[in-house]
Copies of this chain bind each other. A is one copy, B any other.
């Protein structure tokens, strides 16, 4: 029983199972793949693979199905990232080519996530560029009403956060000179600083405020701190939910937990955060039980970092059933990540 053939058998099983969605038997295997040996031999290999926990039978006298561990071995054993087919390449061009003209971050991410979903026929996710190291570019204060104003925070990555502030009725109204002065002080304190530094610097603004303004100033500062905190917490965009229910999707159990996890974006973000790219392929894969979250035990995630320059600023990926077409998903995720990095580098 030669070692390399066993891997070939595993690969064949995964491929057939992904394609047909049915347990695959020894006979069908030799027919569909040129393995050059008889079914009986394959059966021996299969017994060994089962021994190793890479495949399993749903019931006696049925074909074999890959286990999570089997998929893992399959993915790790992939020779290299398959290049995109011309059709896929064209699809990316078509879906993203036009949109690159738009320089609005929201727009670009929106288009990209849709493209990735359509390309992989799965749920696609893109994390907003991480702004932990973004720097404050500008703080704007806009009065809307005597006791109400909007605080707008702009970072050097082009992200904008806003908070509206209501000054408590027992405090004096906020005059326009105070707004102007405060705007200047806030900008002086925070401009060019990272969010954690900015928060520290704001304390000084707060203590140096004149007593009669203290209440209003503290409201504004609190709102600004909240906006700064938000730049550290992550957001994401998502597309392709409808792919979950497609005939071919094939989530075994109900997909309610999957939808719940998706809606609870924190879960997905945490999941992405704990994935680190394989240096060779630039892509990271989590399969089934490797995902700690309970509801996602028969899901798999393929993700990759992206970012302007060499630096990874955030991640994107796809989520689907463990029974997914890994080579295609990996190729698409990598291609889209590179494309997005290129667009953002401008």
One digit per residue, 1 when the CB lies within 8 angstroms of any chain B CB and 0 when it does not, for chain A 218-246 equals: 00000000000000000000011110111
Within 8 A of B (CB), among A124-154: 137-138, 140, 142, 144, 150, 152, 154
In the bound complex, how far is the Cα of B140 from the Cα of A256, in angstroms?
44
Q: Are A144 and B160 in contact (CB under 8 A)?
A: no
Within 8 A of B (CB), among A152-210: 152, 154, 156, 158, 160, 162-166
Q: Are A104 and B138 in contact (CB under 8 A)?
A: no
Q: Which chain B residue lies CB-closest to A242?
A: B259
A12 contacts across to B, CB distance below 8 A: none
Q: Does A35 contact B (CB under 8 A)?
A: no
**A305 shortest CB reach to chain B, Å:** 22
A239 contacts across to B, CB distance below 8 A: 263
Question: Given the known A-B contacts A245-B256, A260-B242, are A142 and B154 also in contact in the complex, defined by CB atoms under 8 Å?
Answer: yes
Q: Does A8 contact B (CB under 8 A)?
A: no
A262 contacts across to B, CB distance below 8 A: 241
One digit per residue, 1 when the CB lies within 8 angstroms of any chain B CB and 0 when it does not, for chain A 237-279 equals: 0011110111000000011100110110000000000000000
Q: Does A19 contact B (CB under 8 A)?
A: no
In the bound complex, how far is the Cα of B244 from the Cα of A263, in angstroms?
13
Question: Given the known A-B contacts A160-B152, A242-B259, A255-B245, are A103 and B165 also in contact in the complex, defined by CB atoms under 8 Å?
Answer: yes
A166 contacts across to B, CB distance below 8 A: 103, 346
One digit per residue, 1 when the CB lies within 8 angstroms of any chain B CB and 0 when it does not, for chain A 84-113 equals: 000000000000000000011100000000
Q: Are A160 and B150 in contact (CB under 8 A)?
A: yes
